[in-house]
Homo-oligomer: A and B are copies of this chain.
């Protein structure tokens, strides 16, 4: 069993690097703003290196800055069983998303050491680079390079999405903070027997159903796009609606249309970034660029929603009233143009049965020993009232890991399903539950 105080101390002490917005009065009621490859990300990485080295691991860094710490087993010819996640956060994120997964994996190393556990094979802990995709606009970038799905050069050349002065690329930032490692970033250079990841659910289901553990079977499909709308800069006071090609009005209609169409298709559509030019109160914007994130349980639904948005956006740019979006203004004699760029594709993922079984068994172990539900019906994939088999709405590095080795994940509830928000919160008990299941799953897989 993990040491809860030690785990929580790791979470909160490392969260000093990259503190974000305060949301409550307590010492730890402060969110995180630790963008990938920033100065504070470097501090968190240095901690990871120092701590895992001190725990007896051999640590290496690859060409994407991924950090791998390996604790030897009895047979060190075979690849390690890994636990891990990421230490980067959203610009206004919380202290659990990613951080819980890495600190729980480090805590796992401590428990193994304290108890003089000799695993059959090595056990590893990994900190993946730029999982969030918040600064460099591909999520799970560096696990994607590791799995061979994202070309190294493409990832290295990714530019920061933050407008104005951040002209950095992933490669320039890896160099700047000293984390451009010399090991190739690939599943062949850094082999894994399996990959387990503990994460907060980031959704409301476990909490609503009062479940302690989510046994994650897979991740929904998603795609990211950058949509560019071009119109014509014009004077707001001297240009009639009819003479305008208003890129922002058109983008507003597109955002509304994407929500309508996603709802119709049973998908999600979201815009998190929007930049415009020139940005003056009395100039109709001639240029707008926005992100579009489309998600659904299966690839087909994402594809259909994408196609529906593409055709609606073209019609809206041409000034037509589609999907019931009416301006009520005199139709403009001028049109906008619209361009799409696909930034990122993450197909629906199904995790590996062996790993799901290990998580399930570890969850049964935890929940079975937790009192009045000890007699919960345990048959097949039913893990009783304390656990739930589920699919993740968010992407995770385990999606890419799963392409090259057996993998799966563990979810713990988070308050009100809130994530990517400073006030994201899981209680110490919930964090400890998850860490115990992670430990149990890794040890089980090692035996397997």
Enumerate chain A interface residues (CB-CB to B < 8 A). 90-92, 132-134, 137, 139, 161-165, 201-204, 220, 222, 224, 232-241, 243, 246, 248-249, 251-253, 255-256, 259-260, 262-264, 268, 270-274, 276-286, 291, 293, 295, 323-330, 343, 392-395, 417-422
Contact B419 A234 (CB under 8 A): yes
Contact B280 A328 (CB under 8 A): no
Q: Which residues of B contact A248 (CB under 8 A)?
A: 255, 271-272, 274
Which residue of B164, B256, B329 contacts A163 across the interface (Cβ within 8 Å)? B164
Q: Which residues of B contact A252 (CB under 8 A)?
A: 251-253, 255-256
Q: Which residues of B contact A268 (CB under 8 A)?
A: 236-237, 240-241
Q: Which residues of B contact A234 (CB under 8 A)?
A: 418-421
Which residue of B273, B278, B323 contacts A281 across the interface (Cβ within 8 Å)? B273
Q: How far is the CB of A51 from chain B (nearest CB, A)?
A: 28
Q: How far is the CB of A86 from chain B (nearest CB, A)?
A: 13
The 9 A-B residue pairs with the shortest CB-CB distance in the complex, in nearest-first order: A238-B393, A164-B164, A236-B270, A252-B252, A202-B238, A203-B238, A91-B278, A134-B280, A260-B328
Q: Which residues of B contact A280 (CB under 8 A)?
A: 90-91, 132-134, 161, 272-273, 420
Q: Mind listing 7 A-B residue pairs with CB under 8 Å?
A: A137-B281, A237-B392, A237-B394, A238-B392, A240-B268, A263-B330, A264-B328
Q: How far is the CB of A279 from chain B (nearest CB, A)?
A: 5
Which residue of B237, B392, B422 contacts A393 across the interface (Cβ within 8 Å)? B237
Known: A232-B418, A233-B421. 18 other contacts (CB 8 A): A91-B280, A92-B286, A132-B282, A139-B282, A163-B163, A165-B165, A235-B394, A238-B393, A241-B262, A241-B268, A246-B270, A248-B272, A249-B255, A263-B328, A272-B279, A272-B282, A272-B284, A281-B291
Number of copies: 2
For the complex, give the distance between the alpha carbons of A423 and B259 in Å: 36
Q: Which residues of B contact A327 (CB under 8 A)?
A: 256, 259-260, 263
Contact B421 A90 (CB under 8 A): no
Q: Which residues of B contact A419 (CB under 8 A)?
A: 234-235, 238-239
Decide: A293 near B282, CB < 8 A? Known: A274-B274, A328-B260.
Answer: yes
Which residue of B286, B325, B417 contacts A238 across the interface (Cβ within 8 Å)? B417
Contact A272 B281 (CB under 8 A): yes
Q: How far is the CB of A144 from chain B (nearest CB, A)?
A: 15
For the complex, give the distance between the alpha carbons of A271 and B203 in Å: 34
Q: How far is the CB of A388 from chain B (nearest CB, A)?
A: 15
Decide: A256 near B249, CB < 8 A? Known: A164-B163, A235-B393, A236-B268.
Answer: yes
Residue of B nearest to A162 (CB): B279
For the complex, give the distance between the alpha carbons of A293 and B241 in Å: 13
For the complex, give the distance between the alpha carbons of A270 and B246 in Å: 9
Q: Which residues of B contact A238 (CB under 8 A)?
A: 201-203, 392-394, 417, 419
Q: How far is the CB of A325 from chain B (nearest CB, A)?
A: 7
In this complex, the member of A240, A281, A418 whose beta carbon has the largest number of chain B beta carbons within 10 angstroms is: A281
For the complex, give the distance between the alpha carbons of A368 and B105 in Å: 89
For the complex, give the distance between the alpha carbons of A178 and B291 in Å: 42
Contact A256 B325 (CB under 8 A): yes
Contact A420 B281 (CB under 8 A): no
Contact B161 A243 (CB under 8 A): no
